[in-house]
Structure 1
Amino acid sequence: MSKFVLIPGAGGAAWYWHRVVPELQDRGHDAVAVDLPGADECVGLPEYADAVVASIGNDDDVVLVAQSMGGFTAPMVCARVQVDLLVLVNAMIPLPGETAGQWWDNTGSTKARVAAAEAGGYTAEFDLATYFLHDVPDEVVAAGAAHERPEADVAFSQPCDIERWPDVATRVLAAAGDRFFPLEFQRRVTRDRLGIDIDQVPGGHLVALSRPVELVDRLIEYLP
């Protein structure tokens, strides 16, 4: 049995993983989604890492899974505690010392997003429905409204406090229909920064909400 520790993206709502946790548990694994104080301007990446480390505790066979902006917290956690596998899901992959605010320009994220929109025939102007919710079931979207919260600016100005990428087996899962971080953009950033290729899963940026079974299938495949 593995322990899956799940880090949400911007806003920090553990609810994001609510369709994944029971799926992992039904397959005989422990799973905990970490709730982060994303809207609190008084805390940021160090406190996020503290919360994840506390959720891991002294457990073994830990699989750390990070969504989107959670990619900035995950390597800081791996530098502090034993993690057997790190899985980045549609995630921002930071360089040591890079801030999330710098990441957008450093990777060319916006340019890639706009180019994909023009090629795909949908609006290049960002909105939640087009870029985050386009493949999420209506009933899940409705339930999620109560869990929406902003990400405080402070977290975008704090560096990913690592000296190098942690010596942890790392896999990158990219959703084929992600409009926010398009597939080829994720492939390029992953190769440039980690020297590995992506694996694909169906779905959009919020794949844990839209395609939880397929996501968990891939996570389980990574286990020895």
Structure 2
Amino acid sequence: MDTLLNIVVVEDHDALREVTVEALSNMGHNAVGANCAEALNDEVGAFPIDLMVIDLNLPGEDGISLARRLRAAQPGIGIIMVTARNQINEKLSGYESGADLYLTKPTSVEELGAAVQALARRMKRHEQAQPDFLLNLGALFLQGPQDGVSLSAHEAAMLSVLARAPGHRLESWQLIELSGKAEADFSKSTLEVQIVRLRKKLMQAGAVNQPIKAVRGQGYQLCIKVTVA
């Protein structure tokens, strides 16, 4: 196997979820399961996710809504939707929500494994195609594909912890702690101003789109590859 991934299987059918997690684990992947979208935080926690296998018919938040939310929060994540719905409009809805692949049940573990590996290779090529950014913490300097920019000590610290965090994602209170102040003495609007300034410097260095995205109700995620030296 050429690519091993951290995979979360969201499936409310207990036996099917267990079989899928076991099959992916036997293929060498690090796989865990959750029975619904609402259980993700409890079951997964800080587990860094590379790829999600999502059933469409979930209790509570359905697979379409979950895929859309995940795609907005983590643009680089892989999403495979597995469902018994096979109508063309349902497939289109799945792809429009952010799914990379749409497999109809019944799906063999061999087909799912092949789909996971094909998507992993595509994700790896995309990652390798992205320009790298080098953060020199000692010099407080970020070198990007277009330019180099100087950072403040706090900007460098924020970028460093985001680059090293699981999934390149941190909650607001964790970023606020970097300021050395209590959350009560440091407004989230102040944090947003700091993120905006850092985002502008990343784009000056060569980042495209939004290099740091807000995760609604939680915090922020770094969407580019930054190497910390």
Interval of TM-score (by shorter of Structure 1 and Structure 2)? 0.3 to 0.5
Output the TM-score relative to the length of structure 1.
0.40
Q: Which has the higher contact order (CA 8 A, sep 6+)?
A: 1
Q: TM-score, normalised by structure 2?
A: 0.40
Q: Greater share of strand residues, 1 or 2?
A: 2
